[in-house]
A = this chain, B = another copy of it.
Amino acid sequence: MTTKNTQILFAKRPTGWVDETTFETVETDLPELADGQVLVRNIYLSVDPYMRGRMNDTKSYVDGFQLGQPLQGGAVGQIAQSRNNRFQEGQYVTGMLGWESYSVSSGKDLRVVDPAHGPLSYYLGVLGMPGLTAYVGLLDVGRAKDGDTVFVSAASGAVGSVVGQIAKIKGCRAVGSAGGDDKVAYLTDELGYDAAFNYKTADSLGRALKETCPDGIDVYFENVGGAMLDAVLPRMRFQGRIALCGMISQYNLERPEPINNLIAMLVSRSTIQGFIVSDHWDRLPAFIADMSGWLRDGKVKYREDVMEGLENTPDAFIRMLSGKNFGKQLVKIGEE
């Protein structure tokens, strides 16, 4: 049994873009477990956009990261040692854990996962928080129904790629935007999106939306914010719904991009609703039942972008924030 741990600490609060000075790697001694605690050997770490918000010193929907402490995120690992009778050594678990080789946990937020139901890493994506986010945002917040046109930004990402596929299953027309021709081809050729465009090379977002959504948009699944939201607002149909999941384009800006077209909501009588997946855990059983069925039947495809090595986690995080990943960004830091 090892007694050493490698940890990546939150060293410096970023203003604007995150860089390597945000992080510091340290070697520490593992503490003895107290009664009720477990030691988790971490296998996969998830890096996600919302973490950028936790780096700010402002009120947000999750607590901010503490300077000098390990960064934290979704992870899958294996119980290496247990003084908690809910967990046995060898079990696989998922939960919010540190950017570190081993995590000590009270077990409170850990959930046992069965590797027979899908690859372990899927519990950080299509069978985990990003998948549930897509499900709740599209069906509960966006109220997508048969015949709707659903537009998704960051459509090849961990959440967006699932949104479009659920939209197709529900009889909608699915349209997506992404930041690369390879991603756009992936949306239409592999995920079954009806249309897609590259927002980085489009002459005008408004024109690209008009061409790909000629009858307007019933549901906009909003992942990016800024100029894309402004271009979508005038294209919303009567009583359209915007499910506001994230604004990744804005997180690294010291001042957000302005939105000019909210007044269009008076014309379309549209709704914008912010939501957070953690308010919707009650939907987890229905989601797992639906999604595991869709994966089994080949109705939902899923792609991962895996870096190797704990020391590369900061790079993976920065890569994901700048949109260079293709598929759900993960870091594999231990053997399964």
Contacts and interface: CB of A to CB of B under 8 A. Distances in A.
Interface of A: 53, 59-61, 225, 229, 244, 246-247, 250, 255-256, 258-263, 265-276, 279
A272 B258 CA distance: 17
18 contacts: A59-B267, A60-B267, A61-B269, A225-B262, A229-B262, A244-B262, A246-B266, A255-B260, A258-B258, A258-B259, A259-B260, A265-B273, A265-B274, A267-B274, A268-B274, A269-B276, A269-B279, A271-B271
Contact of A263 (B225, B266, B271, B279): B225
Residue from the set A225, A258, A261 with the largest chain B CB neighbour count within 10 Å = A258
Nearest to A239: B279
Copies in the complex: 2
Given A258-B258, A270-B274, A250 B263 contact: yes
A254 to B, nearest CB: 11
Nearest to A269: B274
What secondary structure prevails in chain A residues at the interface with B? loop
A246 B262 CA distance: 11
Contacts of A247: 262-263, 266
Contacts of A272: 262, 265, 271-273
Contact of A273 (B244, B259, B271, B275): B271
B61 A266 contact: yes
A189 B67 CA distance: 50
Contacts of A269: 61, 273-276, 279
Nearest to A273: B271
B266 A260 contact: no
Nearest to A272: B272
Given A271-B272, A272-B272, A273-B271, A256 B266 contact: no
